[in-house]
């Protein structure tokens, strides 16, 4: 136990890394299923009368996985709550309206997956198809805006809180409507939102290509070629802008070594992983044009993971807030006792979760789908 004590070992950095890993897992996995769901109305355009079959092929590529993928978000949220209660409290109350939008999106898409094929009426199915697309677009966009804003540093200030004490709040407790205005005028954050959407669309297209055969597969490759390009351009803008604007003199400041002390190394690393993210995306696009579905998907996987790493490197110990003197890794953390117990649980359980998730992806559901795999155009009477 004492070896794990925070003073000696530094459990707060470990938990930042763990939270980052959970977000990487979430964006890599849910990223493609956001993309797949957004593409359903577009990839599912078959010959007349055949488009429902095609749509079902697309949806079924993520059928067994979407729910498990979403748990990464719940775990990231839960881990933040448990390890950094002040981070959770400040962030979630501060971003009330954006998070509400994310939740509405997630509700709609989850129900849409389960219910769209439960009735035969085309109108029923088309309604759910669009709800799953929109319900995936909204969280992708909002989370992208949010993470770009974390990179830049969300403004914080003190405001009155419980028991007559003061606590840290986003923008010092600025009201939600004005906060929305602040976000909507932050061009960098908006670029982040678009990047997440484009990246996930490409990631999703490559996943569909990897998991299907026939017309759906070919169409996914075609879409992937355009989407990959758009995502790469946005990634280039985001990586260069994101890393430059951290310089002490603003956009044209010294780009290579932003900040001071330890952040020098972090700034350099951020450039490295940012370039890796861009390279991953270019590689994915290239592999897709060579019809190597698996490699293309690996490319966007690397791009997504590296993008999140880059953002977390900039967040550093400040948790995505602009003022480390008000809130940072140390002041937001739980007690050593709690962190120690949580660490033991995480060390024991995360490998188990990874093992059975991998089994599900790489063994049970390794096969590609085709329109012939999908039962005829009737309601599933056979569960």
Partner 1 sequence: MSPDTIARWQFGITTVYHFLFVPLTIALSVLTAVLQTIWNKTGNDAYLRLTKFFGRLFLINFAMGVVTGIVQEFQFGMNWSEYSRFVGDIFGAPLALEALIAFFLESTFLGMWIFGWDRLSKKAHLVTIWLGAIGTFISSIFIVAANAWMQNPTGASYNPATQRAELDSLLQVILNPAFLTQWPHTIAASFVTAGGFMAGAAFYLLVKNSKEKAPKGDLTAYRKGLKMGAWVLVIAGVFTIVTGDFLGKQLVTHQPMKMAAAENLKEPLADSAKVGFQIVPKAEVFPGLLNWLYGTKNIQTIDDVKANQIGPNGYRFFDRKAGEWVEGSSLQTTSYSAIQGSLAEANMVPSVGVSFWSFRLMMGIGFLAMLGGIVMLVVTRGGKVPNPGWFWTCLAICMPVLPLLANSFGWIFTEMGRQPWIVNGVMPTLQGLSPTVGTGPVWLSLVLYTAIYGLLAVVEVGLLLKYIKMGLPAAEKVSIKDEGEELSFAY
Stretch 100-139 residues interacting with partner 1 (CB under 8 A)? 100, 103-104, 106-108, 110-111, 113-119
CB of 383 to partner 1, least distance (A): 4
Q: How many CA atoms lie within 13 A of 95 on its CB side?
A: 21
Based on CB atoms, which residue is closest to partner 1, 80 or 304? 80
Q: Which of residues 318-337 bind partner 1 (CB under 8 A)?
A: 334-335, 337
Nearer to partner 1, 23 or 285 (CB): 23
Please report how close the Cβ of residue 233 comes to partner 1 at its closest, in angstroms.
33
Q: Which is nearer to partner 1, 102 or 276 (CB)?
A: 102
In the numeric block, the tokens 């997956």 are attached to: 113
Segment 19 to 38, residues that bind partner 1, using CB under 8 A: none
Q: How far is the CB of 266 from partner 1 (least distance, A)?
A: 26
Looking at residues 151 to 190 of the shown chain, list those that interact with partner 1 (rule: CB under 8 A): 159-165, 167, 169-170, 173-177
Contact string 276-315 vs partner 1 (x = CB under 8 A): ----------------------------------------
* Count, residues near partner 1 per rule CB under 8 A: 89
Handedness of CA 314, 320, 322, 328 (dihedral sign): negative
In the window 364-383, what residues touch partner 1 (CB under 8 A)? 364-365, 367-368, 370, 372-375, 380-383
Identify residues 184-223 at the interface with partner 1 (CB under 8 A): none
Residues 51-80 that bind partner 1 (CB under 8 A): 56, 59-60, 63-65, 67-68, 70-71, 73-75, 77-79
Rounded to a whole number of angstroms, the minimum distance from the CB of residue 46 to partner 1 is 16
| Of 177 and 325, CB closest to partner 1 | 177
Among residues 160 and 253, whose Cβ is nearest to partner 1?
A: 160
Q: Which two tokens stand for residue 183?
A: 């976000």
Q: Which is nearer to partner 1, 90 or 316 (CB)?
A: 90
Q: Tokens 């962030």 label which residue? A: 91
Check binding of 255 to partner 1 (CB under 8 A): no
Residue 99: CB minimum distance to partner 1, A: 6
Name the residue nearer to partner 1 (CB basis): 245 or 368: 368
Which residue number, 115 or 188, has a Cβ lying nearer to partner 1?
A: 115
Residue 171: burial class (beta carbons within 10 Å; 0-12, 13-18, 19+): middle
- Lookup: tokens for 216: 């759906």
Specify the residue, 72 or 285, whose C-beta has the smaller distance to partner 1. 72
Interacting residue with partner 1 among 93, 186, 225, 226 (CB under 8 A): 93
């Amino acid at each position: 136990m004492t070896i794990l004590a925070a003073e000696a070992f530094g459990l707060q950095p470990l938990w930042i890394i763990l939270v980052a890993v959970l977000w990487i897992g979430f964006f890599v996995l849910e990223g493609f299923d956001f993309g797949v769901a957004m593409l359903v109305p577009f990839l599912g355009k078959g010959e007349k009368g055949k488009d429902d079959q095609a749509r079902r092929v697309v949806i079924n590529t993520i059928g067994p996985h979407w729910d498990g993928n979403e748990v990464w978000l719940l775990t990231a949220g839960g881990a933040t709550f448990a390890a950094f209660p002040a981070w959770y409290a400040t962030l979630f109350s501060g971003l009330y309206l954006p998070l509400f939008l994310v939740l509405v999106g997630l509700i709609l898409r989850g129900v849409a997956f389960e219910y769209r094929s439960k009735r035969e009426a085309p109108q029923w199915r088309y309604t759910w198809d669009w709800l799953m697309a929109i319900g995936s677009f909204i969280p992708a966009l909002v989370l992208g805006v949010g993470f770009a804003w974390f990179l830049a540093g969300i403004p914080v200030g003190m405001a009155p809180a419980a028991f007559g004490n003061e606590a840290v709040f986003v923008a010092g407790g600025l009201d939600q409507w004005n906060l929305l205005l602040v976000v909507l005028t932050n061009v960098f954050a908006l670029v982040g939102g678009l990047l997440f959407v484009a990246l996930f669309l490409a990631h999703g297209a490559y996943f569909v290509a990897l998991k299907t055969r026939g017309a759906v597969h070919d169409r996914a490759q075609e879409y992937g070629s355009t989407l990959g390009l758009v995502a790469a351009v946005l990634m280039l803008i985001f990586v260069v802008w994101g890393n430059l604007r951290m310089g002490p003199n603003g956009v044209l400041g010294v780009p290579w070594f932003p900040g001071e002390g330890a952040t020098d190394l972090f700034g350099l690393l951020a450039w490295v992983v940012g370039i890796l993210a861009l390279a991953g995306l270019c590689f994915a696009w290239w592999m897709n044009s060579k019809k190597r579905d698996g490699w293309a998907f690996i490319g966007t996987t690397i791009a997504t993971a590296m993008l999140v790493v880059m953002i977390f490197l900039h967040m550093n110990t400040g948790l995505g807030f602009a003022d480390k003197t008000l809130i940072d890794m140390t002041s937001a953390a739980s007690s050593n006792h709690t962190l120690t117990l949580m660490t033991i649980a995480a060390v024991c359980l995360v490998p188990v979760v990874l093992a059975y998730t991998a089994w599900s992806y790489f063994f049970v559901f390794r096969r590609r789908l085709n329109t012939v795999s999908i039962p005829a155009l009737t309601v599933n009477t056979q569960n």
